[in-house]
Structure 1
Amino acid sequence: MSAAAATPLTGDIERAQRRTVRVLATGQVLGGVAFGATVSLGALLAADLSGQDGLSGFATASVTLGAALAAIPLARLAARRGRRLALTLGNALALIGIAIVVTSAVVRSFPLLLAGVVLIGMGNAGNLQSRFAATDLATDRRRARDLSVVVWATTVGGVAGPLLVGPGESLGRILGMPELTGSYLFSFGAQAAALALYLVALRPDPLLWAQRLERSGGAGATRIDAVDRPRVARYAIFAVAGSHVVMASVMAMTPVHLAHMSPDGAVTATVGITIAVHVFGMYGLSPLFGWLADRVGRLPVVLLGQAILAASLVCAALFTHSQVGVTVALLLLGLGWSAATVAGAALLTESTPTDRRPRRQGLSDTVMTLSAAVGSVLAGVALATIGYDGLAWCALVLVALVTVLARWGRPSRD
């Protein structure tokens, strides 16, 4: 009787998990379009409104600072009220931020730009947590793959977003918008669509269901159980944060570096294409890295990511004055980030019981984004003082640290 009763419930969970992954993946497509313009144009807008290239890193720093400020509050909200409310609130904050960014260009206010970008970053904190939502009802044998599918979905929007920079600027000129702000029209529409999707379609809420299953101990509860391994979880947080700092710091300075390489001013298309290639690297092969993490283990894939990041930084340092070399470096930078963050997020999730997951996941996103905010500011200073190649060599030190400390990521340590 109990076995027969367990089967339908298990089937319900499987169907709910598949639906959750589809909804989250669609939301990530829209979120990628919305975030693409901010990544491509934020540094350029900051340099334009401030009049100083050295302050260009403050745009990416503000995105990451906003995400850091919102990560834990959104995670706590998710723990109490579910993923759906947390994700929709994040989208609403991003919509307000986009409106403020456009306004800042109209009134030529650098501080107002940073305030708007902070709010966009808060919205991005919600997008980041969607990958964890994909693991709430996932089994151990598919956790990394389900997570990676949601990460992969960002490829479509993330590649399309930067490529829409040119058409967006043309549309903006037709409408009389300030220079560099036209693409935010696409961002606003995509962000609004993502908000509506989560609000309507993310039902049942995966985290609330997982919490009920764990409390009841009923059928399906074993699929979400996890042994608490705090030392492994701490390493996972460090590995994800370190990889993200490397990626964000170098990526944030690339548009400014490319602008210096294009004295004729024809930089918009070059930046859009380079960032699109980078974003493809970040998300395009994430299902492969998820499959590898499920097959060979989380830690080996984290280390694979460090090897790819190291190759990227060496390429950026050696071919710093070549547009092709910089583009290849940005592609590798995205691939290394993808491997490390997909495997690292899975390692963190399975090292933490369900009742503690939102808190640790929020802490991971806070550490990751706050560290990247500091790194982006320092990257702007580094670009102005020791150049793009010097920035790459400095970032290599952090890759080495993540690699050396990998012994703490073995489950046997706890």
Structure 2
Amino acid sequence: MMLHKDSVKAVAAQTASLQSYIRSSEKQQQLYKRTLIVVVISQIFGGAGLAAGITVGALLAQNMLGTDSVTGIPTALFTLGSAGAALLVGRFSQRFGRRTGLAVGFLAGGIGAIGVVIAALMNSILLLFTSLLIYGAGTATNLQARYAGTDLANRAQRAKAISMAMVSTTFGAVAGPNLVDVMGEFAISIGVPALAGPFILAAAAYIVAGLVLFILLRPDPFIVAKAISDAQRTSSNLLLGENSKLLSINRRGIFAGAAVMVLTQFVMLAIMTMTPIHMGHHEHGLNEVGLVIGFHIGAMFLPSLVTGFLVDKIGRTFMAIASAITLFVSGILAAVGPADSMVVLITALALLGLGWNFGLISGTAILVDSTPPSTRAKTQGSVDVLIALSGALGGGLSGMVVAHSSYATLSIAGAVLSLLLIPIVIGAGSTQRRSNKIEITE
């Protein structure tokens, strides 16, 4: 009886708390700002977990099996695990809120990293591959965390929220690889193989990221956003026909947002994957390859705050078109520029990263704009599955294209493919402008 009374009191308290947010836009903005701080903290740790493990995953598999033929398997497993986890994290977030969905995803990634360490100790390939698959959950969660800051953001704040999550991921992603040697020495000191050391860091980082979200992300911004949306829908006097039209428009926006992110991911990974091989064929050393890829990764994340500002101020459609044009220029430059010129290679790969950055932030904003809270997290998870799979497909097909043709052909194909985004986003943008008169304010 006492348990029943306590549960009733808890439900009543939660309802009262939600009502206070529904009635106060000031409280909504306070929670939005607090959510951004929590997301930034978690993403710093999440980025470290992502980068530290990926840096040595292929080397660990190579070392345990004694052959180069398996070096691509860890990346494939990360991707497969990431795709499956994206779907599950999206479903969990839709049902239980961002706090639970993201915390479970990061904790699963941490458990996967622990499994990798144990596999290295036992020299078990089966456990290694299974653990790498689970470790991919951290990758998916790291990407989906960018949505958490947008739940209570108004339309003019959403891209900024996305960009803050991406920039904070960069801090961890830069720190992780730089700690590889330190963690290797630490691993040896406790009797663990050196290459498993970074996965100790990954496990700790992912678990801390999950705990930060689970403990601090209260009240859950997604649950609050759904309560606000439900209250507004109840008080709305829109006609059924208008609601049906809005639903159709939202589907078109979802397609446009997904297309931007999926195509930019495909083009970026296809060209990036084969650039080190292309450079090796033209006698560039590992230091030069590292420099080019370093500029590329920097361009993927560091401009995020500026990109977020531009997406919010200039518009989603404009920045999505800018993504397509930037990727096109990058592909053409990579194809026709002198292969022995470091300036050309750095410029081409930096533009490739920048075009991806424009596409991910504008595409995410379009997707959030086009989904009501009642289906938002589930839809976001499904789209992130497509993003992960498109990246894997782009990376896989790129090798076949270069093997049967050339790096120039691959780059030109990527450039032309990126231009498909322009008619897609223009069509969705014009439809969205026609819908503004009937749009329900979230």
CA distance 1:290–1:171, change in 2 (3 Å): same
CA distance 1:293–1:146, change in 2 (3 Å): same
CA distance 1:262–1:116, change in 2 (3 Å): farther
Verify: 1:247 aligned to 2:233, yes or no: no
Q: 1:181 aligns with which of 192, 196, 204?
A: 196
Q: 1:139 aligns with which of 154, 178, 200?
A: 154
Q: 1:334 aligns with which of 353, 371, 380?
A: 353
Separation in structure 2 between the aligned mates of residue 369 and residue 398 of structure 1, nearest angstrom: 18
Q: Could you tell me which residue of structure 2 aligns to residue 160 of structure 1?
A: 175
Separation in structure 1 between the aligned mates of residue 235 and residue 39 of structure 2, nearest angstrom: 22
Q: 1:345 aligns with which of 342, 364, 384?
A: 364
Aligned CA RMSD, in angstroms, stands at: 3.5
State the one-letter code of the partner of 2:327. Answer: L
Separation in structure 1 between the aligned mates of residue 106 and residue 35 of structure 2, nearest angstrom: 18
> Is the contact between residue 183 and residue 201 of structure 2 (CA under 8 Å) also seen in structure 1?
yes
Deviation digits for residues 2-39 of structure 1 (CA, Å, limit 9, x no counterpart): xxx99972111111000001100111111111111244
Q: Map 1:62-77 to 2 at 5 A.
A: 62-77=77-92
Verify: 1:305 aligned to 2:326, yes or no: no
> Is the contact between residue 106 and residue 210 of structure 2 (CA under 8 Å) also seen in structure 1?
yes
Q: Could you tell me which residue of structure 1 aligns to residue 431 of structure 2?
A: 412
Query: Relative contact order: is structure 1 or structure 2 higher (C-alpha 8 Å, sep ≥ 6)?
Result: 1
State the one-letter code of the partner of 1:244. Answer: Q
Q: 1:84 aligns with which of 70, 77, 99?
A: 99
Separation in structure 2 between the aligned mates of residue 6 and residue 120 of structure 1, nearest angstrom: 36
Q: TM-score, normalised by structure 2?
A: 0.79
State the one-letter code of the partner of 1:186. Answer: L
Q: Could you tell me which residue of structure 2 aligns to residue 213 of structure 1?
A: 228
Separation in structure 2 between the aligned mates of residue 168 and residue 321 of structure 1, nearest angstrom: 36
Q: Could you tell me which residue of structure 2 aligns to residue 27 of structure 1?
A: 42
- Structure 1 SS opposite 2:154: coil
> Is the contact between residue 213 and residue 220 of structure 1 (CA under 8 Å) also seen in structure 2?
no
Deviation digits for residues 222-268 of structure 1 (CA, Å, limit 9, x no counterpart): xxx9954211210210110111122233444556667788899xx5x
Separation in structure 2 between the aligned mates of residue 171 and residue 255 of structure 1, nearest angstrom: 31
Q: 1:12 aligns with which of 18, 27, 40?
A: 27
CA distance 1:311–1:368, change in 2 (3 Å): same
Separation in structure 1 between the aligned mates of residue 203 and residue 356 of structure 2, nearest angstrom: 27
Q: TM-score, normalised by structure 1?
A: 0.84
> Is the contact between residue 119 and residue 128 of structure 2 (CA under 8 Å) also seen in structure 1?
yes
Q: Map 1:15-414 to 2 at 5 A.
A: 15-45=30-60, 56-105=71-120, 112-172=127-187, 177-178=192-193, 180-217=195-232, 227-228=246-247, 229-253=250-274, 267=286, 275-317=293-335, 318=337, 320=339, 325-382=344-401, 389-412=408-431
Separation in structure 1 between the aligned mates of residue 51 and residue 189 of structure 2, nearest angstrom: 21
CA distance 1:387–1:95, change in 2 (3 Å): farther
How far does residue 214 in structure 1 lie from its aligned partner after superposition? 1.6
How far does residue 79 in structure 1 lie from its aligned partner after superposition? 1.3
CA distance 1:227–1:275, change in 2 (3 Å): farther
> Is the contact between residue 112 and residue 203 of structure 2 (CA under 8 Å) also seen in structure 1?
no
Larger mean Cα displacement after TM superposition, 404-413 or 132-141: 404-413
Separation in structure 2 between the aligned mates of residue 93 and residue 281 of structure 1, nearest angstrom: 29
- Structure 1 SS opposite 2:375: helix
- Structure 1 SS opposite 2:223: helix
Larger radius of gyration: 2
How far does residue 367 in structure 1 lie from its aligned partner after superposition? 1.0
Q: Could you tell me which residue of structure 1 aligns to residue 9 of structure 2?
A: none
State the one-letter code of the partner of 2:306. Answer: L
State the one-letter code of the partner of 1:286. Answer: S
How far does residue 47 in structure 1 lie from its aligned partner after superposition? 5.7
Deviation digits for residues 171-199 of structure 1 (CA, Å, limit 9, x no counterpart): 44555544543322322222122122111
Q: Structure 1 stretches of 5 or more lacking a match? A: none
Deviation digits for residues 120-179 of structure 1 (CA, Å, limit 9, x no counterpart): 222222222211111111111111112211122112112222333344445445555445
Separation in structure 2 between the aligned mates of residue 121 and residue 246 of structure 1, nearest angstrom: 22
Larger mean Cα displacement after TM superposition, 269-278 or 232-241: 269-278
CA distance 1:7–1:386, change in 2 (3 Å): closer
Separation in structure 2 between the aligned mates of residue 172 and residue 255 of structure 1, nearest angstrom: 30
Separation in structure 1 between the aligned mates of residue 345 and residue 163 of structure 2, nearest angstrom: 26
> Is the contact between residue 112 and residue 131 of structure 2 (CA under 8 Å) also seen in structure 1?
yes
CA distance 1:343–1:14, change in 2 (3 Å): same
